[in-house]
Structure 1
């Protein structure tokens, strides 16, 4: 979906600092440990991130919204930025201690994307061929693993910017636990593909793990770097989790009804992949006996789902008013995110207030898919 100028401004505010830190982190590791023979390995990482083309020639492609690292920095600012930003125009030096955490979260997210594309059989991401379709599954798995290792290496960079060892270890623990929770969610998601008894509570449990866990980790890590106030940290983590649930529901809506131009993926792609996302769970639950039997036959067949069959699924979703239900469900989840954010203790400094406002804007962006 097209981004409004307001959300663009919010997401782009720290985009340069995040992208620069990403480039620096990968270049430093490649120079320190790589050789001419392993250069293509780092080239594949750069391809996935949108920095080079399939020939490993520098090119500028869509990196995505950088939502998770942005949330790290906004939570850091909302929590007070550790008192490092003492003026209304603090420059960007105050971000240095939080950038390694932001980059680590983004790399962790991208490692999961590389593996997800393989597991889901997706041939496109952000309007380009996915990594595995160019270099094969074994190399793509290895590249994903490499991105995950880079995330941990980069995270320890907080120690170079005045973060104490206890906090650094805590951040590493948060990221490791979030990564494991994401893997639990992915296990459930894959497992659900072969099942037809998935309820909405089961679905919500899965997305809290697969999607919301890393987003909650993002806001918690940023908050831990910004303050020692446990109340602020607690509420910002809860905000991240609530936003993460809403973000996945938004993605579910786009996965069924968005065009390829809006989503960067195949139209109705979640139907073709037999994803047990919220729309199909709702349709299966509320369809009449005849329509439910048709859905069961389509989703149980061994052959790929055809374009015509996907159209039938969409028609049944129309009969069950599934899109309207999902839009309302998304609005309710966004309202929960707003309510949790209101519980974050008020800080009067301008930077914290601006960041707080930006968090509201991000929820508003997620909410736009419901309209």
Structure 2
């Protein structure tokens, strides 16, 4: 398929700047792949689409406050540093993105807070990418604590407002426990503890995998021929417990639902020769676009994504290109909210 086939016009007015007042009261569009039927529901209605023995798989990654504001030594010029990936915990070595990039060079020292944290630029990795070393004597627990204090919730740039205290909790799922993501697995943000309890009372099992979401998930595709696009690698873990739960559901011909595209990528990166889930830990750069045969899941919860994004491509691969693109046009007409804090789509 071609990149241009995933183009559509997304008015700014449909980009959600705030989440729904209650997590599970966002709107939810339901797509039925077998009939092409489209339904309009509220997220908490998701309970009605799953039965005893079905499984929902969530990504339990935890977002850390990855955006730091500081200043350069000597000039005091304001700078922004976005923490992407820790390269060495002992040395406090990080891969970061910097802004304004042209002013931040190898050898520069960067100051954060009232000099509470100082970093030195070690290397250029891309035009905006740098490797920096934090000149910090404490251990990684103390370092995490200071980043927690100085860092800001890394809301995407398309949310046109300042970060608010409520974002600390709302830009996180209730499943979050393994720290390492710079963005939230947004489909999971619609779930509440109460909703999970209702699903469990119906006999639906929950399983958890981990994929630490990097900015690569949102990186623009800049090639028309999709086979030439390369995803950034992201770190993932599929442990013993989810393997047991998911494979039992598959053996019993029950539904397995991925909560979000990152969960789906994780599951599809850990498939055995017999099309069952297997334990796996490592890095994946798997790029899923139509046509693609999904091995594990029979349902997907996802948000409404940006035009020409890899997230939209995966939704189209799962739901069927024509149906998903038609659903997006319907969503625009019905004024659904798009992107991170927007409404949900359930594909069954």
- Give the TM-score, by structure 1 length: 0.27
- Higher-strand-fraction structure: 2
TM normalised by structure 2 equals 0.28
